[in-house]
């Protein structure tokens, strides 16, 4: 049956139909069954290692673990078709699935901490299992049999049944997650877009809360790949798509973080100018004026000015959560960035301290380069697809939303070489502040809760 291509395709189509049906009706039970899946995978891994330690299969080149066999398999011997980048393109999809998972972040108690820790834990476990399999296969199987027999891992297992079930369950879980994630992302895009014909993909079946039309589109796309059926042809395409997606995500982080930096700089300058002008005109109390003796009477103008300053200070003290309404606290005279940066900094997670916008930008560029090294045709096709999506969203969508990112890479690169001020983010809303009390007071309050600054709940990790 394994040699019959159409038998494999029919089996794959049947599995695809079952997975699609489960996504429509029974995805909650699949998510709850993750612990059972982990147990089955552990039994499959144990089945392989137990069998590889004690049995020999001469007809498949399997022997007991040997240093001589390991030394022979240690160095590469690529032929005319195989190479490092080609093998990376074939191997990458099997290890990248651990980064996908299920979109259940809303069910987590603390997603900002749980998602990074869970991702790194899954990567560590998956990498450890892959390395152990590689070392065991390299120490037990002759090189020629490793190349000629793709199912040698199953042959080496002790009972065969556990590893076959584990491989089947693993493939089904990956397929289930792919259909689940792709359909939800497509439904979300359809909800936010105004493109005709795409909006209908957001329709949800209220009984099961599933985007049926989006699942149907994903099913038809998957069916096309199943009918092609050649993994050596499809794997590089999947790899370049993964790499382009990861590259886009890293660049989005870089653009959002850079926008945040520029907006903080702009709001800092605006608030500083307002404070300096308020101190010069006597509308804000300086630290020394707090010690003025009450024995000296104030003129009505001074009393009105100080009362107005006290009301502004009280409002700011209320917003900052410190100080009292009776005097001007020291924090109220500081620029808001000093206080806001403590709220908008990265969470106290050790893993997040090793990531910032420059790491994201470097990772984005490296992934694009690797995609072209693996298969430049599919990489160019992926970039062209992204370009078409950008054009359709920018020019074909009625009243497109500008979004929150105000970063323009071309202007930013030019400013780095010319030394000029980068775009309007550093100069806008810096006009001279009016001497009237009410507009300045409203501007002062807006600067504390600036709409340009992300809140701690929306983007607390963009200070890198």
Provide DSSP, 418-458. H-PPPTGGGTTT-PPPPS-HHHHHHHHHHHHT-TTSPPTTT
For residue 244, which of 430, 452, 389, 138 has the smallest C-alpha distance?
Answer: 389
DSSP designation for 76: -
C-alpha gyration radius of the chain: 30
- pLDDT score at 319: 37
- pLDDT score at 44: 92
For residue 54, which of 44, 41, 64 has the smallest C-alpha distance?
Answer: 64
Return the H-helix or E-strand segment holding 338.
Answer: helix 336-344
Sequence-distant (6+) residues with CB within 8 A of 312 are: 283, 284, 441, 444
Residue 89 pairs in a beta bridge with: none
Instruction: Name the token pair of 81.
Output: 């078709």
Count the residues in the chain: 464
From residue 46, alpha-carbon distances to 57, 153, 165, 169, 172 in Å are 18, 12, 13, 15, 20
Higher per-residue confidence, 302 vs 193: 193
From residue 13, alpha-carbon distances to 172, 175, 219 in Å are 12, 12, 10
Instruction: Name the token pair of 411.
Output: 């202007």
What percentage of the chain exceeds 70 in pLDDT? 67
For residue 255, which of 361, 401, 345 has the smallest C-alpha distance?
Answer: 361
Residue 368 has pLDDT above 90, yes or no: yes
Higher per-residue confidence, 390 vs 398: 390
Which range in 318-322, 380-384, 397-401, 407-411 is most confidently predicted, on average pLDDT? 380-384
Higher per-residue confidence, 114 vs 362: 362
Higher per-residue confidence, 118 vs 440: 118
- Classify the phi-psi angles of 282: left when phi > 0, otherwise alpha if psi is within -120 to 50, otherwise beta: left
- pLDDT score at 23: 82
- pLDDT score at 405: 72
Residue 11 has pLDDT above 50, yes or no: yes
- pLDDT score at 436: 37
Which range in 29-43, 105-119, 124-138, 290-304 is most confidently predicted, on average pLDDT? 124-138
What is the tens place of the pLDDT at every residue in 252-268?
888 888 888 877 877 78
| Strand locations in 96-252 (E) | none
Instruction: Name the token pair of 60.
Output: 């498949």
Asked whether the beta carbons of 143 and 77 are under 8 A apart, the reply is yes
Instruction: Name the token pair of 278.
Output: 């308020």
- pLDDT score at 446: 38
Which whole number is the average pLDDT over 301-305?
45
Which range in 123-127, 196-200, 293-297, 344-348 is most confidently predicted, on average pLDDT? 123-127
- pLDDT score at 313: 45
Query: Mean of the per-residue pLDDT values for the chain?
Result: 73
- pLDDT score at 56: 87
Instruction: Find the range with the poorest average confidence among 141-150, 168-177, 233-242, 401-410.
Output: 401-410
- pLDDT score at 17: 92
Which range in 30-34, 302-306, 331-335 is most confidently predicted, on average pLDDT? 30-34
DSSP designation for 219: H
From residue 123, alpha-carbon distances to 99, 102, 178 in Å are 7, 15, 18
**pTM of the entire predicted model:** 0.67
Which range in 65-79, 230-244, 355-369 is most confidently predicted, on average pLDDT? 355-369
The H-assigned helical ranges of 55-110 are 67-74, 84-96
What is the tens place of the pLDDT at every residue in 129-167?
889 999 999 999 998 888 888 888 888 998 889 999 998
Other CB atoms closer than 10 Å to residue 336's CB: what's the count? 25
Instruction: Name the token pair of 101.
Output: 């998972």
Residue 180 has pLDDT above 70, yes or no: yes
Residue 80 has pLDDT above 70, yes or no: no
- pLDDT score at 231: 76
- From CA 71, how far away is CA 139, in angstroms rounded? 8
- pLDDT score at 363: 92
């Amino acid at each position: 049956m394994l040699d019959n291509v159409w038998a494999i395709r029919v089996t794959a189509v049947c599995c695809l139909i079952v997975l699609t049906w489960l996504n429509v009706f029974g995805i909650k039970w699949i998510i709850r069954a993750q612990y059972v899946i982990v147990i089955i995978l552990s039994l499959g891994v144990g089945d392989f290692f137990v069998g590889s330690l004690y049995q020999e299969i001469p007809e498949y080149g399997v022997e007991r673990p040997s240093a001589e066999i390991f030394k022979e398999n240690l160095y590469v011997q690529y032929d005319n078709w195989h190479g490092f980048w080609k093998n990376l393109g074939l191997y990458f999809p099997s290890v990248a699935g651990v980064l996908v998972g299920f979109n259940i972040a809303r069910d987590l108690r603390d997603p900002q901490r749980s998602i990074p820790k869970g991702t790194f834990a899954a990567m560590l476990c998956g990498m450890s299992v892959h390395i152990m399999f590689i070392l065991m296969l390299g120490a037990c199987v002759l090189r020629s049999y490793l190349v000629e027999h793709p199912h040698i891992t199953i042959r080496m297992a002790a009972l065969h049944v556990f590893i076959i079930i584990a491989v089947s369950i693993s493939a089904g879980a990956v397929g289930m997650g792919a259909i689940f994630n792709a359909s939800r992302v497509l439904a979300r895009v359809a909800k936010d877009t105004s493109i005709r014909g795409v909006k209908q993909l957001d329709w949800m079946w209220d009984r099961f809360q599933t985007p049926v039309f989006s699942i149907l589109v994903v099913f038809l796309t998957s069916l096309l790949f199943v009918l092609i059926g050649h993994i050596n042809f499809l794997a590089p395409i999947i790899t370049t798509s993964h790499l382009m997606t990861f590259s886009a995500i890293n660049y989005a982080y870089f653009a959002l973080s850079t926008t945040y930096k520029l907006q903080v700089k702009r709001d800092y300058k605006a608030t500083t100018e307002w404070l300096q002008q308020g101190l010069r005109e006597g509308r804000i109390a300086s630290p020394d004026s707090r010690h003025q003796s009450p024995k000296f009477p104030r003129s009505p103008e001074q009393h009105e000015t100080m009362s107005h300053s006290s009301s502004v200070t009280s409002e700011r003290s209320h917003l900052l959560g410190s100080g009292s309404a009776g005097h001007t606290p020291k924090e109220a005279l500081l620029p808001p960035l000093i206080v806001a940066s403590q709220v908008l900094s990265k969470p106290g997670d050790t893993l997040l301290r090793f990531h910032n916008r420059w790491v994201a930008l470097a990772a984005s560029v490296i992934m694009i380069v690797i995609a072209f090294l693996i298969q430049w045709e599919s990489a160019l096709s992926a970039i062209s697809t992204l370009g078409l999506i950008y054009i359709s969203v920018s020019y074909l969508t009625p009243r497109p939303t500008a979004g929150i990112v105000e970063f323009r890479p071309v202007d930013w690169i030019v400013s780095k070489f010319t030394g000029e001020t980068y775009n309007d983010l550093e100069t806008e809303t810096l006009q001279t502040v009016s001497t009237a009390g009410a507009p300045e007071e409203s501007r002062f309050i807006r600067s504390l809760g600036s709409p340009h600054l992300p809140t701690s709940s929306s983007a607390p990790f963009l200070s890198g």
